[in-house]
Amino acid sequence: MSTSIMTLPSCIPIPIEENQLKEVIEKTKDWAVMHGIGIRSRTNFSEDSIDFAPFLLLPSTFPRREFEKAVEIQTTLNELMHRVAHNQEFLKETLQGTIQVDEFTGNLYKIWETVMEEGVNQRLSLGLVRSDYMLHGISNKIKQVEYNTISVSMSGIGNGISLCNRFVMEELGHFDLLHNLPENNALTGMTMGLLEAWKIYGDPKAAIMVIVEDVTYNICDQRFHEFELRRLNPRVKIMRRTLTQIYQEGCLTDDNELVVNGVIVSVIYYRSAYTPEQIPTKKEWDARLMIERSQAIKCPSIQFHLAGTKKVQQALAKPGVLEMFLSEPKKIAAVREIFTGLYGLDFDEAGDQAIQMALDDPDRFVLKPQREGGGNNVYGMEIRDAILAMKDTKERTAWILMERIRPPITTGYMVRPGGKNPPDLAEMVSELGIFGVIIGDSQKIMVNRQVGHMLRTKVATADEGGVAAGYGALDSPYLIDI
Ligand code: ADP
Ligand code: MG
């Protein structure tokens, strides 16, 4: 259970009178479905229907100063992670223990080694990224949860939820407060990144290929990008394939262009391939390698994927490491300020100390493996059990220990498909995500932008809050001056 220290005020007085509340929720559920704030049902899956995605009726309050700080620092983080991805020595050294015990990361690493030995056919990498934060402690400063480099979600519907929360504020007559809802252009910003990579490749007939899961629940978020691309440039071909299909339909030409079903692919956009289940057999690994060998611009390239691991995040927090990648002291200080305590569990003195700290006070930490997508971390007393079970094995080097962030509590109405109307007021905590786009190679950065935001909110007692993973709800920030 999270023991949060502070509460933040709500954006308007609550509770809302019951009849008014019911009516506005009914209307907003329809607004949500009709504007694609949707997700496919896991329990009652059908290709023919979409549920609205869980959302917060009212935007949750967030300190303006910290929001602006997160927005401001995004391009520095993009630059940092781009440089990390292109520093072979650093990645190699940082991941050497992890890849021996974590098979998935190990296999990704092998692909990276293979293409480097063979000679890289595409030097450019496209990053559509998101840096996640929670507010921490009495001073409510943002602390980074993680920097996501693959299959970054919610810029599609996250954009829509900002409009949905605005709609509710208007319905309730709070026109004078609308200026506290920051504008959000995440969808266009992220899609522009795909389009720019496609233009750089320079073949008007080539396609953008989205790598998808066998079954996609978070379909609206993904389709929004496809449809936005159509709006921005109606002529660009965009296709969706699983890795299994790429294995069956794909090949490389003599000069390493990727051809799938007869179409040249210039940009690969992963919305899958970040968990072991998504690359289940040798066929999918072969497809993953073929893509990496190709001339297609990958979002992300394999090294950018590896740079997004938790192990790398932990290594960046060590003294003196940021200085290897950033030169301006102001930028270094700003990045250091958003880091929370991060500890490796290697077989060295620091690793042993971290193990002891976790055993002494497990509630202070979150224990994380090298996984993405939610639901993998260990919390509370289970940390102790997990550590005791692995502390004398190599397994421990594949995990990191992170100081637990203690976000302030907000009170709000979470609206869920199948939930009762009106829902009870509940205590919540939020996680802010800032989106970024970066394109470049080891020598130069051609595009580096901050492009928008999203807020995810979960009940205060839940450890994790992924929306697509089923734990949290979509939200948007209501900026306050505190
Ligand atoms: P994943 O790659 O699975 O998304 P995250 O590092 O984002 O992994 O962790 C998943 C979730 O766990 C986060 O969205 C957040 O709700 C919670 N979490 C992660 N790290 C911390 C932390 N240091 N303190 C508190 N909660 C955390
Ligand atoms: Mg996460």
- What is the per-residue pLDDT across 387-417, written as a single tens digit (0 to 9) for each? 999 999 999 999 999 999 999 999 999 999 9
Alpha carbon of residue 90 to chain centroid: 23
Query: Mean of the pLDDT values across residues 21-38?
Result: 98
pLDDT of residue 5: 67
Query: 41: buried, middle or exposed (CB in 10 Å: 19+, 13-18, 0-12)?
Result: middle
Which residue has tokens 């007869």?
262
Condensed to tens digits (0 to 9), the pLDDT of residues 68-111 reads 999 999 999 999 999 999 999 999 999 999 999 999 999 999 99
Q: How far is it, in rounded angstroms, from Cα 403 to Cα 365?
A: 4
What pTM was estimated for this model as a whole?
A: 0.97
Give the total number of structural domains in the chain: 2
Same-domain status, 41 and 118: yes
Which residue out of 464, 474, 475 has the highest number of ligand 1 atoms within 8 Å of its CB and is therefore the one to mutate? 464
Domain CATH for 384:
3.30.1490.50
State yes or no: pLDDT of 372 exceeds 90. Answer: no
Cα–ligand 2 centroid distance for 450 (angstroms): 18
Q: What is the pLDDT of residue 102?
A: 95
Q: Ramachandran region of residue 151, left (φ > 0), alpha (ψ -120 to 50) or beta?
A: left
Protein residue with least CA distance to atom 23, ligand 1: 404
Active-site annotation holder among 78, 151, 153, 159: 153
Residue 3 lies in a domain: no
What is the rounded average pLDDT of the residues 148-158?
95
User: CB-based contacts of 11: which residues, under 8 Å, 6+ apart?
Assistant: 58, 59, 60, 61, 169, 174, 177, 180, 478, 480
Domain for residue 9, yes or no?
no
What are the phi and psi torsion angles at 423 (to 5°)?
-75, 160
User: Which residues 6+ apart lie within 8 Å of 139 measured at CB?
Assistant: none
Q: For residue 12, is it within any domain?
A: no
Tell me if 383 is assigned to some domain: yes
**317-344 pLDDT per residue, tens:** 999 999 999 999 999 999 999 999 999 9
| DSSP letter, residue 364 | G
| Bridge partners (DSSP) listed for residue 253 | none
Do 148 and 44 have their domain in common? yes
Residue 309 shares a structural domain with residue 437: yes
For 105, 246, 298, the CA distances from 211, given in Å and listed in that order, are 19, 9, 11
Q: Is residue 223 part of a domain?
A: yes
| Residues 444 and 382 occupy one common structural domain | no
* Mean pLDDT, all residues of the chain: 96
Cα of 120 from ligand 1 centre, angstroms: 33
Atom of ligand 1 nearest to the CA of 402: 23
Beta bridge partners of 403: 365
Ligand 2 center–CA 158 separation, angstroms: 15
Report which bound ligand comes closest to the CA of 431: 1
Examine the domain organization and report whether 365 and 301 are in the same domain.
Answer: no
- 307 with 440, same domain: the answer is yes
Catalytic residue among 293, 311, 456, 458: 456
Q: Is residue 247 part of a domain?
A: yes
Q: Which residue has the tokens 């506290």?
A: 180
pLDDT confidence of residue 351: 96
From 70, 58, 66, select the one nearest 177 (Cα to Cα). 58
Which residues' Cβ are closer than 6 Å to ligand 1? 132, 145-146, 340, 366, 368, 371-374, 376-377, 402, 404-405, 431, 464-465
Mark whether 76 and 103 lie in a shared domain: yes
Q: What is the DSSP string of 178-204?
A: GGGS----HHHHHHHHHHHHHHHHT-T
Quote the pLDDT of residue 374: 86
| Claim to verify: residue 192 and residue 226 sit in the same structural domain | yes
Q: Note the pLDDT of residue 375.
A: 87
Residue nearest to atom 20 of ligand 1 (CA): 145
Q: Is 372 a known active-site residue?
A: yes
- Whose tokens are 């059908």? That residue is 46
Report the C-alpha gap between 302 and 115 in whole angstroms: 9
- State which residues form the domain around 202: 18-340+405-480
Residue at 300 is within a domain: yes
Residues 390 and 413 in one domain: no
In this structure, is residue 194 part of a structural domain? yes
pLDDT of 403 reads 97
Q: Is 373 a catalytic residue?
A: yes
pLDDT value of residue 1: 45
Same-domain pairing of 315 and 365: no
For residue 314, name the pLDDT band (cuts at 50, 70, 90): very high
Give yes or no: residues 59 and 22 share one domain.
yes
Nearest protein CA to atom 3 of ligand 1, as residue: 374
Q: Considering 29, 130, 293, 311, which one is annotated as catalytic? A: 130
Last residue of a domain, one of 380, 404, 428: 404
Structure tokens at 124: 């450019």
Q: In one letter, which amino acid is 105?
A: T
Mutate to test the pocket of ligand 1, among 4, 102, 145 (most ligand atoms within 8 A of CB): 145
Confidence grade of residue 61 (pLDDT, cut at 50, 70, 90):
very high
Q: 398 and 445 share a domain?
A: no
CA dist 381 and 395 (Å) reads 19
Check 106, 137, 341, 373 and give the catalytic one: 373
